[in-house]
Each structure stands twice: as C-alpha cells, then as structure tokens.
A and B are shown apart, each in its own frame.
Chain A
Amino acid sequence: MKIVVAIKQVPSLADEVELNAEGTNLDFDAVDFVLNEWDEQAIEQAVLVKEAGSGAVTVIGVDATGELDGVLHTALAKGADAVAKVAGEFEPGLTSHAQARLLSSAIIDMAPDLVLTGVQAPDDLDGQLGPMLAALMDLPYVGVVNSVQVSGRTATVHKEYAGGLMAEFSVQLPAVIGIQAASQPPRYAPVSKVRQLAKTATIEEIETAEDELESGLSVRSMTRPVSVGHADMIAGDAKAVAGRIIAILNERGLI
C-alpha cells in the first residue's frame, strides 16, 4: 500500500493579513506560513490507514515558501515514512491549477494506491485541488471525507452531506480522497523529534518538467470588505463595564 499525501502551506490567519502594494494579492513577505489545517487532517488519516494495515506514507508538497522543510519534518515526526518536495523557483501564492500540475506530475511517478489531500484550504475554499489532481492523474475522487478504511483494493470512506447526513462509499483504488477530518484528532508532533529529524532526515527533491504555472485567471483587485457600522466591545470587570455603560447612556442623553 503506497499512500501519498499532497500538502501545502497557507498564510496564517492568526495575524492580520496585509495586501500588497498593487492590491492584487496578499503581501506574502508580511505573513507567516502554516500547514493547511485540512492537510494536517489528511496526514493524520494517512498515518491511521497505515497503522491499521500496512504500507508506507509519503508526504509531498511544492516548496513555494522556502519553509516547507519544517512542515515535512513535522509530517515525519507524526509517522510519515518519507517526504518529498517539488523543487524549483516558485513564489508563494501558487494557484490551485499550478499546485495540481506540479503535484500530479510528481505523484504519478510514485504509482500510489491512495492519494489524500485536504478537502479545502483558506486560499482554496472551493476545494479545487483534489478534483484537479484526480483529473490530471485520471483517478476517481471523493471529497469531504471524514474516515477512510482500506481493505484490499477498495477504500471505504465516509462522506459528509449537509443536514448531518453521512454516506458510505466504496472506492476502487487507486483514488484521490479529499479529507475534511481524520477519524481521530491529529496527534502531537514532538518538537524534540522534529528538530532531530531536521538534522537527520532526507527530503527527496523532485525535479519538474512542468513549466505551465498559469491558471488562465488573474486577480484584478483584492480588497477588504468595507464594514458598515460596528459594535463596541466593552472590556473589563463588572464595575468597569457598568461604568462605561452609564457613561454611554449619559453621552446620548438617555438618562
């Protein structure tokens, strides 16, 4: 069983994101990158599948930030058996089309039985990457999955529907599966191990012949939504809050 997990880094939303000067994208110099949280679920699910049966998990991504190594070492610490990155001169903010082409050409050579990826990402809310990967590799795709079990050449997956409904699918392998959540919360990646792996592990670098990175679409402008009115939050203890409310009521001549 060869399981491949396709991952990517996305801007951290814990901090305010800034727009670039042209107003066409984020200012990638000003953001921190983190692993897409759905990809984190995909890694966990892959390791669970491996642990339930046998096989090996390879985690692969495109290094568009120069910081992918840390993420790959973390994947190893969580139980992946091998990691690889598509090497090249890439800029952050690769489109899903580009990601899909780069990843699929590398993954196809690995002859995987199962390809997992996060069903969506903050910069891919419509979840294009999975279906595109499947299309480019000519494999079936199921998305919004929250449990995967493999027996023989078939995977049984649970897919979520609106209204709390759940469907069970049997998928002929090889296939691509878009993970919404792993069947268990992602395990802890000990920093001790991550740091050790950073010294000892090897990351396979895959050269790519792919040079078509455009998606055919371009962003004309990116802006923040204009806010219409806002609520004032009053902080502090009960006394402070009460004091402030009295002051506001006074200001408006209500008392």
Chain B
Amino acid sequence: MLTLAEEIAFILLVVVLGGLTAVGFRGIATLVRSGRAAPPREDVPRRLMSALIDVGLQRPIFKARPVLSTFHAFIFFGFSFYFLVNVADLFEGFIPGFALAYGAGGAAGPFLGGVANLFNLVADILSVLTLVGMIAFLVRRFGMKDKRLSFNDGVLLHPGVQAGGVRRDSAIVGTFIMLHVGSRFLGQTLRLAETGKADPFMPFASLTSLAFGGLSASALSLGIHVTWWTAIGLIVCFLPYFVFSKHIHLMVAPLNLGLIKPGPRGLLDPAVPKGAPDDMAPGAAQLQDLGWPRLLDAYACIMCNRCQEVCPAHGSGRPLSPAALEVNKRYLFNHHFTSLAKGEQADIPLLAMAISPEAVWSCTTCYACVRVCPVGNEPMADIVDIRRRMIYDTAEIDSGIQGALEGIGKNGNWFGKVARTRARWAKDAGVPIKDATKEPVEYLWFVGDTASFDQRVVPLTQKVARVLSHAGVDFGILNNEERNAGNDVRRVGEEGLFEMLVEQNMKAFGKAQFKQIITTDPHSLNTLRNEYPQFGAEYPVHHYTAVLLELLEAGKLQVTEKLGRYLATYHDPCYLGRYNQGYEPPRRLLELAGMRFAEMPRNRENSYCCGAGGGQIWLGSAPAGERPAESRIREALETLSPITGDAEQLLFVVSCPKDVVMYTDAVKTSGNEGKIVVRDIIEVLEEALGLTEPAGLPDTAQVPV
C-alpha cells in the first residue's frame, strides 16, 4: 500500500528513533542498577509469569477504584491487542495486496479469511472500548478536576511537577492514544468506505464508514495513507518519549511486579545490603543510596495517587504523599538523566528534593500504600530507609522519638520504667503467672511494652491472663528479661537498636523453655513472626485472638451469655491484618459472643491505620487536623448509628494494646463520648464467657501494700 518513498521514510524513522529509544532504555537499566543491592529475587521466571497473568487479568489495578479500573481495563485490553493490530498494519503497509478488511471476502483470501474475521471483530470492538476508556480518563483528569490527583499543602514537589508536568504528560499520552487508536479505526472506516460495502465483522467501522461514502476515490486513498501514518508512524515517533513519560509503566509495571520483594510483608529489607563493607552507612541520604527496586519503582509508577488516597498521614492533612515521593524520584531521574544513564553518581539529596523531613516522620508504616499500588511499588520502604540514615546521622530526630529510643536502649521499654518493673502487672493479675525462664511452658507470652506498662491497658493484660488460665492454657512470661520486641524501633529507622533488642530477647528465649509464642500486641507479633527468624529465632507466633478462637472451638472456653445487646464494629490493626492476614479470628470471636456486627467500609486489607504505628505514638508534638483515629471513630459511627435499632450500646472493638489507647482518646477528643465505647476483644469475651468479676470492691488481699 505504501509508496516507495513512504517505505524509505518509515524505515529511516525506525532506525533513527528506534535507536534513540534503545539508548534511552539502556540508560534506564544502568540507572536502576546504580542503586544499592537488594535481597536476591527468588523464582523470577515464575513470578514474572504470574505477574503477566495478573496484569493480563488486570487484578492489581482492581484492588481499588472499580469504575476507573474498568476504563483502564478497556485501554489495557485494547492496547495489548494493538500489538497484533500494529503488526498486521505493518504488513498491510509493506506487502502489496495484503489487507484484512472484509476478512474472507477481501484480499486476505479464503484461507486466512476466518482468522481475519475474528481478528477484525476483536480489533473493531477494542478500538472503540479503548477510545471510550481514554475519553473517560481525560474527562476525569481535565474535565472533572478529580481532587485525588492533587496534593496536600506542604508536600514537597519537584519543580517540574509543580509546573504541571504530570498533567502535561497525561495530556500527551492521552492524545497519543486517541490519535493512534482513532487513526487506525478511521483508516479501517475509510477502507470500508472505499468499497462501499459493510463488513459484519467490523460493526463499528461499518457504521462510521457510512459518513464517508460521498468522498472521491483519491480522497479516500489519501486518507488511508494519512491514517496509516498517524497510527503506525506515530508509534515510532512516540517511542523516544517513553523514556521520559509515565507511560513507560506499561512495560515496567509487569517487570516490577515480577521482581517484587520475596518473603512476608512484615519483613523489612536490611539497612545495609548483605555483604556490604562494614563502614557503609545504613539507609539512604542520596537517591542512589536506595536499593535498585526502589529506583525501578519510579519507572513503574503511573502517578495515579491511589497510594496517597489510602495514606493516613495524607488523610489527616500532613505533608506526606507516597505518590509525590515516587513522582519526584521519576522527575529527578529525568532531570539528571544524561549523567545517571552513564552510571554516574549524581548529587540528589532525598530530603531536599524528594520528600521533606516532616513527611518522613509522618509515616505510620501502615503498609496501605504498598498494598494498594497497582504496579507493586513500595514507597514505605523508601521512607524507612531515609529514616535509617537520618537516625544514623542524628539529623532532625524528634525529641519524643529520641526519648523513646533512649529509654528502650537503657531499660528495654519506652515508658521510662526500669526494666525490673516490667512484670509488675503480673503480681495482681489474680492468677499465678509462671516464669518461663524458671519452668517449662507450652506458650511463651510475649507481653510487649504497652500491655506491660500502660495503666489503661494493664487491666486488659490481666484479663487475658485470667481467661488463658481459666481455659487451662500452660503459659509463662519472660518476666523482667523481656525487652521491647523492636518492631517500631526498626520502622523508626534505628536498625542497630533493633538488632540489639533481638539479641537481648533471644538471650532471654534461650533461658526459657517453650514451644510457641503468644502475644496481644500485633507489632511484637509482626517482628517476632517475620523478622526474628532471620536472626535464628524460629517459633510459631500467635495472636491471642487466634488462640482464644481455638480454645472456644475446642470447647475449652464456653460462651454462657450471648451479647445481643451490643452492636459492634471491628478495627483491623495494620500489623495484625494487612501485615499478617489475621482477619478472621477476631470476627469469629465476636460472632461466637453473639453480638450484632457491622463492617466499616474500610476493613480487612483496606483497614485504616489508627495513626500510632511506625513510631508515631512517640512523636513529641501532636499535629493538627483530624487525626486518623478520629476519622475512624467517625467512620464507625456512620456505619453503626443508622442501624442501631434496639442495641443498648455501640462498641468499637479492637485487638491491639495501642488501639485501646488511641481510640479511647479519639472518642474523647472527637466529642463522641457516650455514643460509642472502645472495647478490647478480651473484655467482650470475658463478658460472654461469664467470667466478669462481680462489681464492687475488689479483693483487697491482692492489692500489694
């Protein structure tokens, strides 16, 4: 179909622009490899395969925003199929007489005809769907001004982003897709118009061809040539732009998903790569101090802001946006591309250019951003690495965090209490509690700081002891030998202190005899279960909700009173839920307790952080704005109030010592006292089991004098 001149022009274009693009891609590979080493990726071919399948089914993107995701799926399927379409169009351009229009009736001949018909049908439908999807995206970004695409005040943004770079990129990519797909569709339309016949396998193009019936043969032929160029020639022209555009996500996202971190969610990468020289500073100050997967993240990012939407720091108005972090990284790469592509180290200080210190200290390490990201990015991992270096350089450490770390270093807890008072709660628990370092037990109860020291939580800790003891569970504690498990210490960036705590706790484990670990604290659970094994401490670790459920199901505990008078909702703690998939036992327990129950909109994987994690609870200053825990109480009331019915009391049930503290506070500060009550699951259960102590003065014989 093409003239000789056109053919030569096309080949030249491919050689020049294709070559340029190849150089660009090689530059990206060099750049990504200039990051620090990361734990080796396991099973890459299989993971890549399953990533491709996932992407093929559009699974990662449907984790959130179902409507937009549907439009994305239109574009995705259209674009994927267009690989074939483009090849066919190339043949059509270069092989005289090759044409797929009319399938069996056309130049393809009867042999290829059946295949061609099917091909045409799919191409015709997908072309239209792609255009529909793309129009929806453009309307949403440019027509509706979707607020989710803007950032909080104070979020550090690269000048290129501030100048509207993301919008411009979106506009260019959108125009490209519209032109490319639109031209191809128009070309087919004109072909049908040329013969004046409709093709039943190209219903849409047949329909539009009616509009062009009146054109002269030469006009139609010219149109066919022009649309070939605006469809196929355009791709070639667009190729070099890929290197700098977010549209590259269509290649990097599947790769990123295939190269995703092995191991559990709750296991952080080490602060310095394994085998690094002893004097290497941990974490990241410069962009290229980040591990290579973090650099690849920036190329996979499609700048959709989904991660920001679920971020509790963003939700409470703080200047943190995980999306902005990824976007900034990408803009910095683009800006320094020439030197980075040569493998040079560029001076790109993260805290000045990618994310502000205040934003770094706003992260609760709730994992929501990582969970929701459709392309497998881990903005949280960057933040932890940046904290690691800040701590190492003692730069801008919040006084509250410093105090907590010093206390933990000195006494093993952040309550400012000397280590030998750790097990004081056990003295007036009402039941004898074994010392696991003195006698063998089945379960070692790792109590944790909050449950040991916070006077609001200690009574709950004691209730757990009584219920376990009532069920005949053989358990003991490490007494004053237990230290903070280090989960949040590690997430604040104090890797050295974390390692020290692991060593201290492992030493205490070594003195004790036990088979399994139980804890009420999801934070301790996470690090004990997912991180301690790396140091050699491998034990089954259970949350108390799982153990209690087992006891009920085995008949060792019996519900004696159904609590139908309560209407409850349940908050999934990040470190039990999202990190460790402990979704069902707490819900089953509430069900067995016979209460009426309703889920909040944000539950399980989508649970919203209480705002305490990752060291936030230690911060010296409470930031302004609606705190995450207050937003959560509001959500609970919005869920429960309309369906209260004859419930005597609304309950906000939690299963984490920090949550007890956070939400009890939040009910007060949000002015909702009297409307809803925060209850630990153990209180609910104790009531249902009929184990609640009779009201009145407690037995004073147990009160130490």
Contacts and interface: CB of A to CB of B under 8 A. Distances in A.
Interface in A223-255: 232-236, 239-244, 247
B705 A192 contact: no
B419 interface: yes
Given A187-B394, A200-B279, A236-B703, A195 B499 contact: yes
Q: Which of A190, A195, A233 has the most chain B CB atoms inside 10 A of its CB?
A: A190
Given A14-B418, A200-B279, A192 B700 contact: no
B406 interface: yes
Contacts of B405: 188
A220 interface: no
B428 A236 contact: yes
A190 B703 contact: no
Interface string A190-211: 1111111001100000000000
Contact of B700 (A187, A195, A247): A247
B705 A244 contact: yes
B437 to A, nearest CB: 17
Interface residues of B, number: 31
Nearest to A199: B278
Contact of A190 (B278, B392, B410, B411): B392
Interface residues of A, number: 26
B282 interface: yes
Contact of A192 (B391, B411, B428): B391
A15 interface: yes
A40 to B, nearest CB: 11
A36 to B, nearest CB: 15
Contacts of A234: 703, 705
Contacts of B420: 14-15
A10 to B, nearest CB: 14
Nearest to B410: A14
Contacts of B391: 188, 190, 192
A200 B278 contact: yes
B639 interface: no
A243 B698 contact: yes
Contacts of B698: 236, 239-240, 243
Contact of B704 (A195, A196, A235): A235
Given A190-B496, A191-B496, A244-B700, A196 B279 contact: yes
Interface of B: 271, 278-279, 282, 388, 391-392, 394, 397, 402, 405-406, 409-411, 418-420, 428, 494-497, 499-500, 697-698, 700, 703-705
30 contacts: A14-B419, A15-B420, A188-B391, A188-B397, A188-B405, A188-B406, A190-B391, A190-B494, A190-B497, A191-B494, A191-B500, A192-B392, A192-B494, A192-B495, A192-B496, A195-B496, A196-B278, A199-B278, A200-B279, A234-B703, A234-B705, A235-B703, A235-B704, A239-B697, A240-B697, A241-B703, A242-B697, A243-B703, A244-B703, A247-B700
Given A188-B394, A195-B500, 20 more contacts: A14-B411, A15-B418, A187-B394, A188-B397, A188-B402, A188-B405, A190-B497, A192-B391, A192-B494, A195-B496, A196-B496, A233-B705, A234-B705, A235-B703, A235-B704, A236-B703, A240-B697, A240-B698, A243-B698, A243-B703
10 nearest interchain CB pairs? A191-B496, A192-B496, A191-B497, A243-B697, A243-B700, A195-B496, A199-B278, A14-B418, A188-B402, A236-B703
